[in-house]
Structure 1
Amino acid sequence: MDVQVYRSLDDPHIYVRKISPQIEEFVKKERLPVKVIHDWTKVLGDGSLKLLFIGQAEVLLDLREALKGVTATAVRSERNYLEVLPPGISKGAGLAWLCAWLGIPLERVAAVGDKVMCPCLSGWVSEGPWLMLLNLFAARPILPSLQFPNSVSS
């Protein structure tokens, strides 16, 4: 199993103990810079943003079960990924914050994606008009031109 550490929003690097084939594949897919670090205390002691475990699905299920007593949020974002986030942090919490900031009622929001739906987003489908929130990193260049409902601007 491989472990990646994400330090902060302003640090684009992922930190790993070694470059494995799984890490190489991840870096190629996500286009993130990687740094090999042997002393985890240098990156874990400052309140890291996220841990990402990459491995066999069965092993990750066991790990998620073992983490149930830990004060953290463990989410399967892909079949072979287990993300461990600080308490209260999730895609659902981020989406709720973004909607509040934009002034969009949650009843008018549907979460749409190309991966397995995060359990924290289930039940977000409404019968009213839907606003599809796409991956913000991919959508960033077009965000200024988006027209939001109720005259909400970006």
Structure 2
Amino acid sequence: MLNKQPIPSNQSNIPIRWIVSDLDGTLLNSEQQIPPELVRRIARFTESGGRFTFATGRTLSAAQPFITLLQITSPVILFNGARIYDPVMGAYLTEHYLDSVSVRHVMRMYKEAEKAQQLDLLLFHEEGIFSFSAVLSEQVKKQMHKDGVVIETASPQWMDGFAGKVTKLMLIGPEADLIRFQQAAAAIPLNTVRSESQLLEVLPHGINKSTALSAMIRLLGAEDDDFAVVGDNLNDLEMIGSVRNGFAVANANPVVKAAAAHVLARSNEKSALLDVIDFVESTWPLGHGWSSTES
């Protein structure tokens, strides 16, 4: 593991209890899987009393297979921070929506740019994902396959009826077109974030993974120093910079690496989270983990 800054000594009296990881590009490999050795290592970590969860831009249905695989019982950050989900209760702890003015702004901007730019617009309402286009494009189908979700077509008029109940909007397309759209959106302004090179997301005002992490920490009655967070892309930037132990995987965006306290030598393809777990456990009281009875 490579470190930009000195790692706090094991004698610092700041044991870390929680790991919060991004999914795509961080916990998941390019096959959209968590390697078996990493699944087993996370299981040993939680059996020793550690807490593991993730923060993702994905919907609940797209995140659920990994919640089940890792037997996550801690709150999960979804929709890039717009929702926090409790797997035990089977309910959302927090929910935020885009204001209707912002939704209609983006719809109008998209319609004006539709012929000039190769973009698709998706609207996220409750647990559904709807395409602004009458026919699903190949890039939308690819996204649908990657995330394991169903995306439906809907008329602009029908989608407009959900304007006050939209969790997020997503644009898919060539990076250059997304950059142009994001630059135009900044004049309004809208809360946009690049979650992948071909994805641009519009989130509720003031919402990101960092604000959701802060809300989760308050809900748990924990402290920032109880957490290590890991990510790779620009939607992880604020979260990684918000805690003492923010980690960037080797394949991370350079901007994210610059914000992280620690830069890992391994990429998501090489199970970089193994090094994070080792580091977190090294901060625990010597010779044992946390008691399984501790909250």
TM-score bracket for the superposition, by shorter chain length: 0.7 to 0.9
Local SS of the residue matching 2:228: strand
Alignment of 1:44 with 2:137, yes or no, is no
Counterpart of 2:187 in structure 1 is: 69
Q: In structure 2, what is the Cα distance between the partners aligned to 1:148 and 1:71?
A: 48
Alignment of 1:14 with 2:129, yes or no, is yes
Percent sequence identity over aligned pairs? 27
Q: Which amino acid aligns with 1:116?
A: N
After TM superposition, the runs of 4+ consecutive aligned structure 1 residues lying more than 6 A away are none
Among candidates 136, 152, 166, match of residue 35 of structure 1: 152
Q: Which amino acid aligns with 1:42?
A: W
RMSD across aligned positions (CA): 2.4
Q: In structure 2, what is the Cα distance between the partners aligned to 1:71 and 1:49?
A: 17
Local SS of the residue matching 1:15: strand
Closer, same or farther in 2 for the Cα pair 1:104/1:85, shift >3 Å?
same
Are the counterparts in 2 of residues 75 and 83 from structure 1 also a CA contact under 8 Å? Answer: yes
Any unmatched runs of 5+ in structure 1?
Answer: 128-133, 135-146
Are the counterparts in 2 of residues 3 and 51 from structure 1 also a CA contact under 8 Å? Answer: yes
Q: In structure 2, what is the Cα distance between the partners aligned to 1:45 and 1:61?
A: 28
Closer, same or farther in 2 for the Cα pair 1:108/1:148, shift >3 Å?
farther
Local SS of the residue matching 1:64: helix
1:126 shift after superposition: 1.4
Counterpart of 2:114 in structure 1 is: none
Q: Which amino acid aligns with 1:62?
A: R
Deviations 1:27-65 (A, max 9, x none): 111111111112x23223332111100111111111111
Q: In structure 1, what is the Cα distance between the partners aligned to 2:161 and 2:208?
A: 21
Are the counterparts in 2 of residues 71 and 86 from structure 1 also a CA contact under 8 Å? Answer: no
1:107 shift after superposition: 2.8
Q: In structure 2, what is the Cα distance between the partners aligned to 1:81 and 1:101?
A: 30
Alignment of 1:95 with 2:210, yes or no, is no
Alignment of 1:84 with 2:202, yes or no, is yes
Local SS of the residue matching 1:69: coil
Local SS of the residue matching 2:186: helix
Q: In structure 1, what is the Cα distance between the partners aligned to 2:169 and 2:291?
A: 33
Are the counterparts in 2 of residues 108 and 126 from structure 1 also a CA contact under 8 Å? Answer: no
Moved more, 75-84 or 86-95: 86-95
Asked which structure has the greater RCO (Cα within 8 Å, sep 6+), the reply is 2
Closer, same or farther in 2 for the Cα pair 1:53/1:107, shift >3 Å?
same
Any unmatched runs of 5+ in structure 2?
Answer: 1-118, 246-272, 274-289
1:15 shift after superposition: 0.3
1:120 shift after superposition: 2.1
